[in-house]
Amino acid sequence: MRIGELSKASGVSTPSIKFYLREGLLPKGEATGHNQAQYDDSHLRRLRLIRALIEVGGLSIASARDVIAALDDSNLGTHKILGVAQHTAARGIAFCDEESKRVALTEVRAMLERLGWRVGPDNPAVHAAAEVVGALRQLGHGDIADRLEDYARALKPVAELDMAVLASRPDIDSMAETVVVGNVLGDELISALRHLAQTDRSAEFFSAEPGSNR
């Protein structure tokens, strides 16, 4: 397909496609003449990934380039490549003070060891969890933090479902796109479903009270 057709199929404007080509995010098409090139489905898939990284994941061009470079590195295995994509969804938000986070980091890492989860101690998600645990204890909601392992166990089937979806993807670009979109938008979906489940459970626990079916 020509660049105009690629633009139409992908929903990405021609100037943006040319920009991604210049920045090395999108591989060049097959030259067919002066300033003319042909593109194929691999370019379409890569454009979908670029949009996911930048528009959904909120990455800068430089950070998106790092993810693309990881995808194109034949020395990296699928697990490591998907780890790079997963880190794009990490949000560095500070919820608690440094001392509370330090204590919570020890708590989260100890939990991972008890569960036998194969996660690096400095994975961004470890730090994100520690921020939340530290904040819960700071705010006097330590009873929630005490159920940390229960929450982790409850989410393992969700992770298994995520992996089943990933395994159904045809190539590494599609898998990486799914990781980015699934983590950013999937987190919002899980949060919404959790609220719905809470509403249902609340209606059961407090069914004798008026207005319980909201």
Cα separation, 205 vs 209, in Å, equals: 9
pTM over cut 0.95: no
- Cβ(126)–Cβ(108) below 8 Å: yes
Statement: 3-72 belongs to CATH 1.10.1660.10: yes
Q: So what's the pLDDT on residue 103?
A: 96
Q: So what's the pLDDT on residue 90?
A: 65
Domain boundaries, the chain: 3-72, 86-207
Q: What 3-state DSSP class applies to 52?
A: helix
Cα separation, 198 vs 169, in Å, equals: 32
Q: So what's the pLDDT on residue 54?
A: 86
Give the amino acid at 90. Answer: A
Q: So what's the pLDDT on residue 121?
A: 86
Q: What are the angstrom distances between the C-alpha of 69 and each of 84, 138, 190? A: 10, 41, 30
Strands (E), the chain: 30-33, 36-38
Produce one character per residue of 42-71: b if its CB has 16 or more CB atoms within 10 Å, e if not. ebbbbbbbbbbbbebbebeeeebbebbebb
Q: So what's the pLDDT on residue 47?
A: 92
Cα separation, 8 vs 14, in Å, equals: 9
- Cβ(145)–Cβ(170) below 8 Å: no
Q: So what's the pLDDT on residue 124?
A: 87
Q: So what's the pLDDT on residue 208?
A: 62
Sign of the four-CA dihedral 25, 27, 29, 35: positive
Q: So what's the pLDDT on residue 165?
A: 92
Q: Which of 1, 164, 131, 140 is nearest to 12 (CA)?
A: 1
Residue 13's Cβ-count burial label (10 Å; 0-12, 13-18, 19+) is exposed
- Cβ(101)–Cβ(131) below 8 Å: yes
In which element (H, E) is residue 113 found? helix 98-115
Q: Quick one: angle between helices 61-71 and 78-86, nearest 10?
A: 170
pLDDT digit of tens for each residue in the chain (214 aa)?
Answer: 899 999 999 999 999 999 999 998 999 998 887 778 899 998 998 898 888 888 877 788 888 888 888 878 877 778 887 787 777 666 667 789 999 999 999 999 999 999 999 998 888 889 999 999 999 999 999 999 999 999 999 999 999 999 999 899 888 888 888 887 887 788 889 999 999 999 999 988 887 665 545 5
